Amino acid sequence: MNHLHERPDVAGRGEVSRRPDGRLFLSIDTWTDADFALLAADMLPALPRPLHTVVDEADTELRSRWESVGFTTRRREREYVLPTAPGPVPGPAGVTIGPPSDERALRSLEDVVRAEVSATVGWQEMPAEILPLPQVLDVTKYTVAAADDGYVGLLRLAAVPRQPRIGLLAVRADRQRAGVGRALLTHVLDALHHKGVPAATAEVNEANPAAVALFESAGARRVGGNVELVLR
């Protein structure tokens, strides 16, 4: 779903799009509070709830506009830059870190991770970059943690124009808190360093202290963030 709304008497436009997880996101692009209010008054009565939007954490003016029409803060996400560096951390005993060699096993782990997320925090707590699985996985974007019982963790780099972006870092529930995530992250940063790539980016939910601690311990520097607002 993608819907564009414009008014001839308003200098601006509103757009509604549906994310892969099913949520509706609204954006309104105007120069003035008055034009924003007119577009919001046109669009909001016709849209289902809940309705979401995302603003830069530094844009207090835009956030105030959304709050004036009833939106409230739902989550905050930190934007990090991670310097790449040599020297990967070895995986836990019995775990090997490297590129995937079995697409079926990789797809199976993705299915397990998605099921675990759905049963716990829910996909609404995950970044929008976590898209539905394609028919054919691009295995070149993945690094996996392999054990005797299959793949137990994965890191996927998102395809972005300027620098690599960590789109997903996940460890199977029964293998968490054992150093698998740290080994995956440092392995990828080491590989990028040897390719001459100086840095990668990542977004981390502020409500996930374990993820915040992992990335900051790897030298991540916070460079910004965004706020997701919701109208229920």
Q: Average the pLDDT over 206-210 and give the result.
A: 90
Segment 83-140, tens digit of pLDDT: 999 988 888 999 999 999 999 999 899 888 888 877 765 555 555 444 455 555 688 8
The pLDDT, as a whole number, for residue 130 is: 46
Same domain, 32 and 147: no
Segment 34-67, tens digit of pLDDT: 989 999 999 999 999 999 999 999 999 999 999 9
3-class secondary structure, 119:
helix
Same domain, 46 and 110: no
Choose the final residue of a domain: 29, 61, 78: 78
Structural domain boundaries, residue 193: 80-231
User: Residue 5 corresponds to which tokens in the numbers above?
Assistant: 């709304």
Same domain, 74 and 85: no
Q: What is the CATH number of the domain that holds 149?
A: 3.40.630.30
Angle at which helices 33-43 and 60-68 pack, to 10 degrees? Answer: 40
Task: Assess contact for 159 and 198: CB atoms under 8 A.
Answer: no
Beta bridge partner(s), residue 76: 227
Across 8-126, the runs of DSSP E, i.e. the strands, are 12-18, 24-30, 51-56, 72-83, 96-98
Q: Residue 156 and residue 137: Cα distance in Å, rounded?
A: 11
